[in-house]
Each structure stands twice: as C-alpha cells, then as structure tokens.
Structure 1
Amino acid sequence: MPGFDPREPETYWGLFRRESRLAAVRRSMAITVSDPERTPDGLALDWTVTLDGAPTQYTLLRWDDIVRARFPRSNGRRLWEVPALWLRLLRVGYLRPFRREARRFARVIIGVHFIYLFLVVLSLAVAAGLAALAPVDARPWVFLAVPPLAYGILAVLMRVTRGKPFYVAHLVDDTAFTHDHASGADTRMRDRLDAFADIIRGAEGRASEIVVIGHSSSSFLGLEALDRVLTRDPEFGRRGTPVSFVSIGSVIPWITLDPRAIETRAALARVAASDAIVWLDVRAKWDWLSVHKRNPLSASKLPAPRAHRPVEIHVRIEDLIEPRIIARRKWNLFRMHFQLLMSSRDPEAFDYIVFVAGPEPVHGLIRRWRNVTEQPKGCAVAETDPD
C-alpha cells in the first residue's frame, strides 16, 4: 500500500522492475518481473516477481484516485481549510506531543506550513506594492484589485514550490488528508479500506503467506485494513496461512496523536495485540518524512506494547546508496523517503526486493530478527530508536 501519492500505479511497477534489475546484478540472482495487470475492479495492480525460480505475487492496492481528488487542492480551499485545521490542533494541544514524538518530521510539517504562510503574506505584499504603483487618480479603487491579484500570485508561487525541495502543496494537502481521515471526514478512504480488507482476506488459503506492506501514510492505513479483516474474521491468520504486516517509513503518531483519531488508535491497539499477525517496522533515522523515535503505541499514548510489537530494524543509509549520492540527495526529502523501497548497494544489507521476493518467508525473517540471532548487515534490532 503506497502513501499519499497521486501517480499512476504503473509508476511503482516501473520502480520495482528497475530496482529488481539492480538487485539481480548486485547479488548475482535471477530476478524477473512480469508486466503489470490492473484488476477488473480497478482497485489493484498485480505483477509477479520471480527470484531464482520462485514466484511471488505482488499486488499494489490503489488509492491514487482518492489522492488526486485532494491534491492539489485549489488555493481557495487551502486559504480556508489550513487555518481552520491548525486552530483546531492548537486548541486540543496536538502540537506539543507531535513535536516531542515526531521530532524531525514535525519540523518538516510545521516548517512547510510556515512556508505556506510566508507565501500567502508575500502574495498580498507584492499585490499591494503593485497597486501602490498605480497613478494617484486611480486610487483607492485600484486597491480593490489586490485580493484577486494576490490570489493569482499565490497560485504561481504554489506551483513553483510544489516540487523539490519544498513540496509545499503536497505536504500541506497530505496533512489535511491525514487529519480529515482522523476525524472521519474522508469517507471515500473508509470505503476503500473496506475493499482492501476483502482483497487481503481473500488471499488466505491461496498463498503460502500474506504480507501487507504499508509505506508512509499507509503505515496507519495498512493497520486499519488489517483491523477490518480481523473484525470480520477473528480467525484470520490462524488457519495455516501466516500473516505479516510491514510498516516502512512509518508516520503512525502523526495521525494517532490527533484526539479525533479514535478509530485509528483502536485499530493500532487491536492489531498490535493480535498474535496472529507478526509486525515488522523498518526504520531509518535519516528519513525526515517518517516518525521513528519510539514504539508507535507508546508514541500514541497507548498502553505499553508487548515485547517486539512491532519488531524494529534500523537501516543505515550508507548501506543503501554510495556516499557521493547521499550528499546529492540528502535534502531531496521525498527521494530519501522512497529509498527503503529500493535495492541496496551492499549485497548483505536490507534490500526491499530480496526481502519481498527472496527464498526465506517474510514471517520467518521477522521471527528470526525478533530473536536477534541474525539480521542484515547495517541493521540494528531494537525496541526503541537508538537516536
């Protein structure tokens, strides 16, 4: 399950195929990736990855259409909704625990919103300055043009800062989606999670194991989908098909610290308590767009979790890409956020492609790492972030 991304699902297939070719060369493995195929209902994109003769079905669960309906929003909606959201979050005391638990991620989110505020003020200032240049006999009527002129200037500035390195529109709209989902205002996502739960549940008995992977915002959406499965079928995962949940680039406390996120917190608690589902959290303290300081339950002010719920591995960026590339990419926050979904340069380090399609079952890997008897080079298994 991908994060808040409006791109077509074939983009992820292309990324997976490219990284599979790199992994094959780096590890001297035979890896092939089939052409993608959209399901008739349009909810998923399927392909098969075959590693040394062993096939794995990879299904991308789609919600890119929901993202496109929300991003980019019109500037008029942002001008109304952003202040309303932050007034609510300030009123309920959200910011202090968010800054404490999320640390660098909170700096990014809050910083981007300050950039957005600066762009709004700058637009007004430039529009007022242009109006002041008008002939004296045109005043004061010319100042009536300031609001529409400022709106046009803001539209240009938002387009300019939409991509790297700022991603202003993306992160502002992503924040709005996250808190709308927390409050239940976004019903389309709820319906989509119901459909995802049916797809996941339908794989039981047909596969040797089921692995649900949630990247970025889908770290909490994946939990909610699995919780829906468990609610409908309490015996899910106990009939012989092992089930694993893998969160990568997790942002769980981003939503669960919102007092309105009652359903998400309940889903987090129930999945964490289920011994039918093993849970791995792949963490990277160099990823500024993830929350990795503490266990997500403790960070969400929920009762202390049982040991190894989730199992945590911490991945070093030096084992994934070369130092010269790190220097070039370190401030491209979205590119770094996707790094854990790519092949690693070190053949012995954590590698997403081999992790997904390798010969050892994912649930077996998680249980082995839980016992801390062996883990990938460059990974530390711990219950708290060493940073």
Structure 2
Amino acid sequence: MGAEQAQTGQAQEVRHRRVFYIPGYDPIHPRRYRELYRKEAAEQARISGYDLTLTPAPKGANYGWHATGRMDGLETQADVAVLVWSDIVRGSMDSSIPATYAQLFRTAAEYIGSGALWRLMRLRKGPVIAALYPIGMLLLQLMIALLLAWGVFALSRSLPPVGGITPVLGAALGVVLGGLLLRWFKKKDGRIFAYYLMHDYAYSAQHKGANPPELEARITTFTDTIAEALRTDTDEVLVVGHSSGAHLAVSILADLIRSGRVPETGPTLAFLSLGQVVPMVSFLRNAHRLRADLAYLSARDELTWVDVTAPGDGCAFALCDPVSVSGVAPADKRWPLVFSAQFTRSLSPERWKALRWRFFRLHFQYLCAFDAPLDYDYFRITAGPITLATRYAGRPASASRIDRAVSKFTSTAP
C-alpha cells in the first residue's frame, strides 16, 4: 500500500505548492522537463486513477508551468519552476577536440591520483563505470584515428610515388584524415555521449571539487529565488535536485538556512534529491564547501530531506547516504531519509526488460510514471495534497543503504 493510500482521510495540508526543480549537468533547454512532466503525469494519472493537468505559467525569470492535481477528492495547485544553469553547462562544453583530450587526462589524473576513484568503487560500480566510459571511448576514438593516419602514411611509403604523393605528404594526409574522423566522432556524440560525459566529470574535477565562480554566482541567485518563495502565501516549498542538481541543492539550502531566511511561520520547506551523484564531487580533495554543506544540512530541523535512488539506475550512487559516505555525518544527524524507488518492483516486467539497458533513460525514471508505484510517486509528491514530511513520516530508511564513511577527504574548510 502506498503512503498516500495509507493516509486517505487525512486533512489537506497543501492547497498551493511552489516546486523548484534543479536539473543535472544538462545543456538542453528546460522545456524538455515541461514536456516530460506533461507526458509522464498524464500516464501516471491514468494508471493511478487521479487527475493532473498542466497550464502555462506566466512569463518570469524562471521557466516553468502550473499543475492542478485532483487526488483523493482534494485539489492542489502547484507552480513548478526550473532553475536553469544550462547556459553554464553549454559554456563548459564549448571545447575543441584537443581541449577535450586535455580535460580527459587532467580529470583522470585527479580522480586516480587522489585515490577518489578507488574509494568510489567501494560504493557502487555503476557510476564509476559511467565515469570511465567516456575515457575509454575517447581513447578508442583517438586510437582509431591514429591507426588511420598511420595506415595512410604506411601506404604512401610502400607504394611508388603516385601523383607526387611522397611519404611526407602521406603523413600530412593521414593527419588530416585522422582529424576529420575525430570530428565525425564528435558530431555523432548525440548517440555515444562520450564528449558529454567527459565534460560533465571534467567540470567537477577542474577545481578538484570546488565550485567554479560562475556556478557559485548562480547558486546565490537560486538561493534568493527560493528565499522569495518562502515569503509568499504558499503551503510548501519543495526543492527537487536531480543527478548533479542534488549537490547544488544541498549548497543552496544550506546557504538559505545559514542566512536565516527560512521563516518560522512560513511554508514548509522540503528537499527531494533524486538519482544523486554527490560522492563524485564530495570525494574530491577541494570539495570543502560541499562537505560542510552536507554536514550542516543533515542536522537541520528547518526542512525535511528525502533521498531517492534505485540500484537499477547505473548512473547514480544508489542507496548511498551522501552525508555519511562523505565522512561528515555529525553526531546529531537527522537527514536524509534514504530509500529506493524499487524499479524492479514498481515497473512491469515488460517495461523493466525494455528499459534496463537504457542507462540514461533509467536515470530519469524518477521523473516518470511507474506501472505499479509503491510509496514513491513523483506526481503525488509535486502536486498532491500532503507535504513531503507527512508523506514519509515514520517511513524507515532502506536496510541495504550504505552509510559508512568512505571518502579519503573529509575536511570542511581549506
């Protein structure tokens, strides 16, 4: 029985909710998230027997939409906004082929040289394999291009000069063809994702886990946006951090609470982290800021923090308590509540079979419909009549979670 069904008959807590969705490292326009929500909400409503409709949101600083949920005879209004940092992502991906290979060697040196990679492998192998994939794929592409260049040069040496093509010109031609092949590989990266993933990991590693200045500035802007929502006449402010967006949300909410901008009599503040990859950053030597924010947020009573992952998601650190594994859990730690979305039980066998090898699609399943939802339903959470705190009150953490300290670096100050 799902949490919502178990609480049928409870008084409505939320008539209006503000939802702030923080995406991961994604260069694409945020309209993709509106379309995903629209499509998957309709499917989940059909499966679960409730009603959820979307209408456009008024134009503002953040891209978003309005959702009206009618569940268990109660109506809830939700204003959903995407906190956009895709422009920063696009800027970080604007690298030449040689620059990308330079990123590859610097990033590999940081994760391997610091020992972070080996410790990450003690958590979950899936996301570590995902991190190694772009390195292996890009090196394979480089090897193929070099073999092509060498083959053209060797052919020019083995044949009598034809049309004035000497070995020197053959070598030059080989270099040109090898370069064109690398450009072709990059053009096809929309299917391979090697460059995309390389830029993703390189962005976190470039300052060894510290936030680049442009990201710190955006965190400040997002903090101000959420602080403003907490001063409005709404019932719940829900922050959703997905993938890399989860560790941004940690710092945003830590800054928000530290600055005293959570009113005692204001809306309920809630944080839902989905498919998080926090250890990929918090395990790096200079991630002092993130580790400090994790420790601080985990002990606060101004919010409820629920962390949902799934072992079926090979791109996330499934059931890894991001605070504890980072080695910064304080004695009075309260959060997060860590549990699994249980893909293998909440998706039909046919759908699981169709999705299980589509790793990137599964990484977004938290935002999608389930055939047989258990106690996790993204649309009830974002557009339903009860708060995140009430929904999971008394819900035990997953027994198989990993909550031991694993990180080599645990300092919270430079």
1:109-152 Cα deviation digits (max 9, x unpaired): 11331121111111111121123223454013421344443222
Which of 345, 358, 361 is residue 387 of structure 2 equivalent to?
361
Amino acid at match of 1:124: L
* Runs of at least 5 residues in structure 2 that lack an aligned partner in the other structure: 1-21, 404-414
Look up the match of 2:196: 170
Please say if residues 72 and 170 of structure 1, whose CA atoms lie closer than 8 Å, have aligned partners that are also in contact.
no
Correspondence for 1:224: 251
Specify the alignment match of 1:129 in structure 2: 151
Aligned to 2:39: 18
Q: Who wins on radius of gyration, i.e. which is larger?
A: 2
Preserved contact between residue 246 and residue 281 of structure 1 (Cα < 8 Å)? yes
Equivalent residue in structure 2 for 1:213, among 240, 245, 252: 240
- Supply the AA of the counterpart residue of 1:204: L
- Distance in 2 separating the partners of 1:157 and 1:176: 19
Equivalent residue for 2:329?
303
Contact 1:295 1:383 in 2 (8 A): no
What is the 5 A alignment of 1:253-292?
Answer: 253-292=279-318
Contact 2:92-2:199 within 8 A present in 1 as well? yes
Shift of 1:59: 1.3
Q: Which runs of 5+ in 1 are unaligned?
A: 373-379
1:154 to 157, 182, 203: 182
Aligned counterparts of 2:108 and 2:362: Cα–Cα separation in 1: 27
Identify which range, 243-252 or 99-108, moves more after superposition: 99-108
- Provide the aligned C-alpha RMSD in A: 2.2
Bigger Cα displacement from structure 2, 289-298 vs 247-256: 289-298
Task: Show the 5 A alignment for 1:233-248.
Answer: 233=260, 236=262, 238-248=264-274
Equivalent pair of 2:57/2:79 in contact (CA under 8 Å): no
Between the two structures, name the one with larger relative contact order (CA 8 Å, sep ≥ 6).
2
- 1:48 is aligned to 66
- The question of whether the paired residues in 1 share the 8 Å contact of 2:152 and 2:170 is answered with no
Cα distance between partner residues in 2 of 1:81 and 1:145: 27
Q: Which residue of 2 aligns with 1:66?
A: 88
C-alpha contact (below 8 Å) 1:32/1:50 kept by paired residues? yes
Partner of 2:93: helix, strand, or coil?
coil
Q: Is the 8 A contact 1:36 1:47 kept in 2?
A: yes
User: 1:101·1:253 contact (CA, 8 Å) conserved in 2?
Assistant: no
Do 1:237 and 1:243's aligned partners in 2 also have CA atoms closer than 8 Å? no
Match of 1:384 among 382, 392, 401: 401
Offset, 1:18: 0.9
**Deviation for aligned residue 1:60:** 1.1
Once the two structures are superposed, residues 209-249 of structure 1 have per-residue CA deviations (whole angstroms, 9 ceiling, x without a partner) of 1111100001101101112212322x525334221111000
> 1:270: Cα distance to partner?
1.2
Do 1:311 and 1:382's aligned partners in 2 also have CA atoms closer than 8 Å? no
In structure 2, the partner of 1:32 is 53
Contact preservation (8 Å) 1:249, 1:289: yes
Q: CA–CA distance in 2 between the matches of 1:287 and 1:191?
A: 31
Residue 101 of structure 2 corresponds to residue 76 of structure 1 = no
State the AA in 1 paired with 2:112.
L
The code of the aligned residue for 2:48 comes to R
Map of 1:375 onto structure 2: none
Task: Give the Cα–Cα distance (whole angstroms) in 2 for the partners of residues 340 and 305 of structure 1.
Answer: 31
Select between 121-130 and 142-151 the one with higher mean Cα deviation: 142-151
2:299–2:334 CA contact under 8 A, matched in 1: no
Residue aligned with 1:133, SS: helix
- Asked if structure 2 preserves the Cα contact closer than 8 Å seen for 1:290 and 1:337, the reply is yes
User: How far apart, in 2, do the equivalents of 1:163 and 1:275 lie?
Assistant: 43
TM-score, normalised via structure 1 length: 0.89
Closer/same/farther in 2, CA of residues 51 and 359 from structure 1, 3 Å limit: same
Q: Give the whole-Å Cα distance in 2 for the aligned partners of 1:307 and 1:268.
A: 10
Alignment of 1:86 onto 2:108: yes
Please give the TM-score of this superposition, normalised by the length of structure 2: 0.83
Q: Secondary structure at the match of 1:328?
A: helix
